[in-house]
Structure 1
């Protein structure tokens, strides 16, 4: 609620779609806590995330009514365009967390999220290949967000027995992860370094293979096969790549883009717990516990830094 109070009317026009990365991180933490067997903590975190999600949708809804030209500007922005599925990802993650407690609401949220994601994917990819010229400089790992959103859909779809739809989303998500991975690495290796505000998005590299692992497990009947091994090991490899970059990232001034650290860490944490449970790997469960501790610390620090930025008027400013 402090976030809502801290954003004045004069800054509402600059309330960014990227804020939904906060709820992605909170719900990701809730799923990791549940995977680690901490059900009460997961339920509490889910409640906090639901409140924050309502606040964010309320603020963004007000922005869309009062400043529709700003929404259009975000949609035309080559970086922020990729963050629109983050709002939908939050809905899909909430549906996963409500599967056991409120199954009817969970199914409703999943249905809405799946339809919205199908539409968003077509519209965003169409925008990417439209007449607008996108140069390598605007590419960043944030472009993975639409792909990640697609591989999240099967996590709920398989639970509901909707395997045909789940396979569709998994196929689309995996395809665009591979395409974008090639493009993003070309940009990272052969072009100028990412701008400071976008450097935390490097952590997003961890998310697609980690979520794809979880989705594949659901589609594959809970069996760990060669593809599952491939996906989780790619997630671990990218985690190692990111770990090398962490000291440099910590020297950067705080920006809301640092919330990009939260969901990928949560995805890998949940994947490690799931891998350990299915494969009987004590090392994976131990690694999952260590990652969970890191994730909790990360979310706490991000929350404190965000509230400080709200009080200081450092967010929702024109760029």
Structure 2
């Protein structure tokens, strides 16, 4: 239990995430069957193509959710997630080296495949396969460098290019993800919260403080793109809980509780607003 909250709540949220993943996958498979050209265009697009990294991240995270209920299935799901994640990372690297990339397309969503590689270490630190340790170490190396390169390119574009359109501003929260997820991967792979892990956590917290005033504004309209804030905040809240547990102290525990409250509120608002869009027909008009 975390902060005295029953573990069953976390399990319920895990199965809710599984249900959302199944529903979303079924819908997109239907779209693939009915409109294959549209899916192909989305996959090859320099911006929307990066969202396919969420598929790999979902497979990796769901393997952790399902581990207590079927180890063999969870290990197989993690293995598939690793293969998909690395394939997408190779694709991103290939796109970068192709040249003539429009700087306007260098948006925070480019980080998603790199963060996905780091999630291999987050979810695979306790995998029993003999080869898992080397895969986790490779994922740490590849994910860290890919995320660092992309983060630098994106910051350059944000500093010197046109400001992001209001509907794209929630994606700024993704800039925090490499450091929060990197913290979790480091701790899971190496088994300790050391000074380097602490530095990753604190820089992720710094980025969160910097981008929050630019994201949580009244002039930023709601759209499905707001879900981009969910996984970075979840990663930071998780990192804060792990760091507070390792270091102790009322301040760190209070910070972890505050971030967990922010995450809970964000997920509740996003769910309610999205359901409103679904039943009002606005979602399918986007």
On the 8 A contact 1:147/1:177 being kept in 2, the answer is yes
- Distance (Å, rounded) in 2 between the aligned partners of 1:245 and 1:252: 9
1:264 corresponds to:
232
How far has the Cα of 1:191 moved from its partner? 0.8
The answer to whether the 8 A contact 1:275-1:281 is kept is no
Aligned to 1:16: none
Q: Could you say which residue in structure 2 is the equivalent of 1:245?
A: 214
Counterpart in the other structure of 2:149: 179
Give the Å deviation of 1:91: 1.3
CA-CA distance at 1:128 after TM superposition: 3.3
Per the alignment, residue 97 of structure 1 pairs with 65
Taking the TM superposition and a 5 Å limit, the aligned residue runs for 1:32-111 are 38-111=6-79
Report matched runs for 1:141-156 at 5 Å: 141-156=108-123
Where 1:198 maps in the other structure, the secondary structure is helix
Q: Distance between the aligned counterparts of 1:62 and 1:190, measured in 2? A: 40
Indicate the residue corresponding to 1:168 in structure 2.
Answer: 138
Q: Does 1:225 align with 2:194?
A: yes
Asked if 2 retains the 8 angstrom alpha-carbon contact of 1:35 and 1:270, the reply is no
- Residue equivalent to 2:279: 311
The change in CA–CA distance for 1:35 and 1:139 in structure 2 (over 3 A counts) is: farther
Cα deviations across residues 191-247 of structure 1 (Å, max 9, x unaligned)?
A: 1001222111001111110010011011222x2222112111111110110223244
- The residue number in structure 2 matching 1:138 is 105
User: Deviations 1:232-283 (Å, cap 9, x if unpaired)?
Assistant: 11111101102232443x4211111100111111100000100111222332
Q: 1:181 to 1:105 in 2, by over 3 A?
A: same
Note if contact 1:203-1:260 (Cα within 8 Å) is conserved in structure 2: yes
User: How many residue pairs align between the two structures?
Assistant: 283
Match status 1:214 vs 2:184? yes
The separation in 2 between residues aligned to 1:110 and 1:116, in whole angstroms, is 10
Paired residue secondary structure (2:232) = helix
Q: How does 1:196-207 map to 2 (within 5 A)?
A: 196-207=166-177
Deviation at 1:160, TM superposition (A): 1.0
Q: Which has the higher contact order (CA 8 A, sep 6+)?
A: 1
Unpaired runs of 5+ residues, structure 2, are none
TM-score, normalization: structure 2?
Answer: 0.93
More moved, 93-102 vs 224-233: 93-102
Structure 1 unpaired stretches of 5+ = 1-32
**1:140 offset after TM fit, Å?**
1.2
2:124 to 134, 157, 160: 157
Name the CA shift for 1:35/1:52 in 2 (closer, same or farther; >3 Å): farther
Corresponding residue number in structure 2 for 1:23: none
Paired with 1:286 and 1:104, the residues of 2 have a C-alpha distance of 38
SS at match of 1:117: helix
TM-score scaled by length of structure 1: 0.84
- 1:209–1:234 Cα contact (<8 Å) kept: yes
